[in-house]
Chains A and B, each alone.
Chain A
């Protein structure tokens, strides 16, 4: 999925049945006790808030009006008691809110992460890393905050509003009725502003991402801008986005201010009504002064909680998108999955039954294989047949983007053929588990991927129980011992995020060592030797030869000089295999391989300075 779709999705309105809450039940269920308790405490909190002005009423009516201080001590004690209850209630409910938020986050993240471990490659090819990443990280976060804080705010403030209205009715029903009319009117006005605000905020975020890409372009494109002397133009364009941003943001500010001033005005209208009618009743002696004061306090404080309720409701609506996207991820099914009887025998992704695993010998056969990528429109392989006996070294060559990785993807069962079979040791790969196959494959990528952590941790990735002696042997086999010696902390040196503290060549050598340590029966090198300097390349060349001895191997190569010795070379163009044979056979043909080879040979000749 590309960025455009991604961005469009951010702006969608999604409507799910019952606000998508049923989809969240599995994550809420284990927390139901805490959630109920938080809801109960929020109810209590809202109630106490409604009761508080009554103390003022009592003080006025009793102490001030009647000058009677007889009940002062019980008054103080009961105030402190209520205050303490409120404090403790707040303490617990705020803590519980945090626990709910974080636990829901955690559980949803875990579920998403685990599910991703079982999805097939077609999912990863169709969705960008950034897209999937924000499903795991941001969507869960927003849902967590909805079921904790928005829920709490909603319950608390609804309780307060209802409580305040009830007390007002009890104190004086006529005036209560008067105030009651204002509440729905204000709520509608607030709902309108909130709706506008949500939309405006989306717009601001959208322009904001344009500003970021503006900066990005201004910096990455600096060389081009300078050579074209297009600085003025870039400035102008950036400025117009920038101005648009200011306009949208100020408009948001305008609505936010309208929102705030409406609340204030509504509060004072209530106050004015209370003073007018309430004052009247008080003057005629039907109501005490303290009661009037309590009324004014309720009137002034009624509208702000309303704002919170409106906000909580709008959260519920905006989070629908996140719930929907999260659910979609969880409901995506892998198009490569093991059959129940295979799982029965060999175990699943997280619980392998290694005792039932057979040895892998290394014969590979493509039998009448046709294949089309799930997001593709045409077959890249049609009725393809190829027998690869154990120990054969197969090379796949072609230009960048020609589809060289297809065969490898099929052998590794990252994809399954649309028709036909792939046999390993004479048995269809689907008859054994993915994990069994993968545990027997050594895989080295074009862009070597290391994980944050130490060198040792990375080397152990393929074989966690390897001894130090084995590690050293593997490192030596690919001549990576020099790297270790150079590092300050040797094997315990940190490689940085994605291995960034090392050079590409170093990363490549270490990923070779990692592969050799896992002692696989089938070896796959996917463009593993591109973009490195000649000295390192020589080292790697030696390493590869060492690695491939006695194993079935697939080398996807961009640099042709590295695969001249291969037992079989497959030449790919536009996704299809157009030539196959050994190096000398293909050179004699003077076809596509020959053209590719001569072109690269010249460049390499110059680069190596061999002339």
Chain B
């Protein structure tokens, strides 16, 4: 799966490595220049360099020339430093391009995929957890690939090159110098491996401390009402002290580790200094080589220490990859292999809606619908009355296939075409639905209404808002239709939200419209006004009205009364009024004919 995400940013990865290689190569070359300067220019030694360099050196005038014109050496270094600067910049840029493109691909693929997962999946999974996976875990994988992997490659290049240069100058001293490397790596791998569980304990306790604060703040009323401030303070203080102690202990271990590994590195440098001197005295090493050797040794020992830490932190990424994979491997919504065309669906949506012996149960749930059959004639209005949990919302979920009706549980057809044979998106395009607790996206009101078609002209938007009786409230806002909703803007009341949602649905111009208790937060006068305006503008649409309000339902052509997943009464409003069942009782209460 990692390979999938890496597609499209591989070249940046290659660039990063390439730049890394050349940076290291140049960094390694500079001590050589110093060495040759010390030995062959300032000192009186031999120039110990590859043939082309020698030839150039002598053609320029040899040691004598450079001795009198040391600026030339400085110039050489400056030129190299300039290239180095450019390369370091390029390496940084390439690696951040790589990291960001990778992250971009991960988050966009995840978002795309999540949008297309079935509604049931969204119901089953915890929002906070999914967001965690899409943000923190993505970040961790990015760190792994773009920092840890690249660091390791860089360190390895650096170590190999340093060793190679050192080896060319003096193999024996190199071997002695290299002994420290595996010791330091092993030491830090073991240390970081051991200490990881302590870090986890610290994180855990930080979480507990944070929860105590959180609970104290959310429960501030309870704390005050019981007068338990003192207790809260003690509880907090206990955890506060404990957590602090844990960290201090951890820092003690860490500082011991840092100092010990500094000490080992320091000893290794001493070893090289002393043995190097001895080699020089014996004539096995020149002064320039000695200086260069010490520089290379510095490039060897520091990255090696870092390596141990990187290695021990890599395992965290594995867990994150698994957590992301869980999302990417979840099965998205799918249509039947051979769906009917979009035109056919649109045409069918202008026909009758028929539920034929539909039964349905949510996963692990009780039977929510039991053998429900009814028919809504094209262009008519169906009213549904029922209590919470009676199954009315489930009916609507099945109608627009937020939940799929499993085979053998009856059928739902539009104009004679089974909805299972349509493409889910085509079907939903034909069904405008307003939910009881509508969700508005955090963008402007205008954008919310025109969410499906952002080229919708403003007067179309206003017309829809006008029908939903919300145009007036919107224009009262300072920024009108450009007012932001939600987190970053104004908070709309429940009734305003419902009306904006109705306006949004109206711009869809769909042949079937469903109002799922969608005027519950609007007062009855506005409710009546909206219904009247809707009635005029709906035209030929088939309408399903779910409501608790008798006055709303009275406008329907036909009414179903639903209880515990079954239809217990049905008929025209007039028929039900005269029947004396549940509908009638509620009718009496709401219209004030009954004494309670």
Contact = CB atoms under 8 A, between A and B. Distances in A.
B217 A4 contact: no
Interface in A572-611: 587, 597-599, 601-603, 605-607, 609, 611
Nearest to B520: A603
Contact of B38 (A212, A230, A289): A289
B126 to A, nearest CB: 10
A438 B222 CA distance: 10
A229 B251 CA distance: 54
Contacts of B233: 113-114, 117, 350
A91 interface: yes
B91, B212, B233, B244, most chain A CB atoms within 10 A = B244
A265 B387 contact: no
A87 B104 contact: no
Contacts of B386: 606
Nearest to A289: B287
Interface in B501-521: 504-505, 508
B387 A609 contact: yes
A106 B71 contact: no
A317 interface: no
Interface in B228-271: 228-233, 236-237, 240-241, 243-244, 247-248, 250-252, 254-256, 258-260, 262-263, 266-267, 270
B116 interface: yes
Interface string A212-230: 1111111111111111111
Contact of A279 (B41, B108, B596): B41
A352 B429 CA distance: 66
Interface in A213-263: 213-231, 233-235, 237-239, 242-243, 245-246, 249-250, 252-254, 256-258, 260-262
A239 B263 CA distance: 50
A3 interface: yes
Interface in B216-231: 216-231
Nearest to A409: B221
Interface stretch (B53-61, B127-135, B148-156, B472-480): B127-135
B73 A276 contact: yes
Contacts of A226: 119, 400, 402, 428
A464 B231 contact: yes
A268 B101 contact: no
Given A227-B400, A245-B104, A117 B232 contact: yes
B122 A219 contact: yes
A599 to B, nearest CB: 7
B429 A229 contact: yes
A586 to B, nearest CB: 13
A524 B217 contact: no
A336 B255 CA distance: 47
Contacts of A605: 585-586, 589
Contacts of B89: 257-258, 260-261
Contacts, number: 408
B160 interface: no
Given A102-B244, A217-B441, A221-B441, A253 B95 contact: yes
Interface stretch (A129-137, A164-172, A179-187): A129-137
Contacts of A213: 442, 487
Contacts of A449: 215, 218-219, 221-222
Contacts of B8: none
Contacts of B74: 272-273, 275-276
B340 interface: no
A351 B230 CA distance: 8
A452 B211 contact: yes
Interface string B419-440: 0000001001101010100110
Interface string A423-440: 000000000001110110
Interface stretch (B192-200, B276-284, B360-368): B276-284
B451 interface: yes
A67 interface: yes
B267 A69 contact: no
B439 A224 contact: yes
B402 A227 contact: yes
Interface residues of A, number: 145
A217 B585 CA distance: 42
B14 interface: no
A395 B526 CA distance: 30
A487 interface: no
Contacts of B505: 228
A98 interface: yes
A60 B251 contact: no
Contact of A250 (B70, B100, B130, B277): B100
Given A87-B263, A106-B244, A606-B582, A250 B287 contact: no
B130 A215 contact: yes
A67 B286 CA distance: 12
B38, B225, B454, most chain A CB atoms within 10 A = B225
A434 B232 CA distance: 16
Interface in B566-596: 581-582, 585-586, 589-590, 592, 596
Contact of B280 (A64, A237, A238): A64
B96 A264 contact: no
Interface string A386-422: 0000000000000000000000000010100000000
22 contacts: A4-B487, A59-B276, A64-B287, A69-B278, A69-B281, A98-B248, A98-B255, A110-B240, A222-B122, A231-B115, A234-B115, A262-B85, A271-B77, A293-B291, A443-B225, A498-B215, A587-B596, A601-B596, A602-B589, A606-B548, A606-B586, A609-B564
Closest 7 CB pairs of A and B: A253-B96, A257-B92, A98-B251, A268-B81, A443-B225, A94-B255, A63-B277
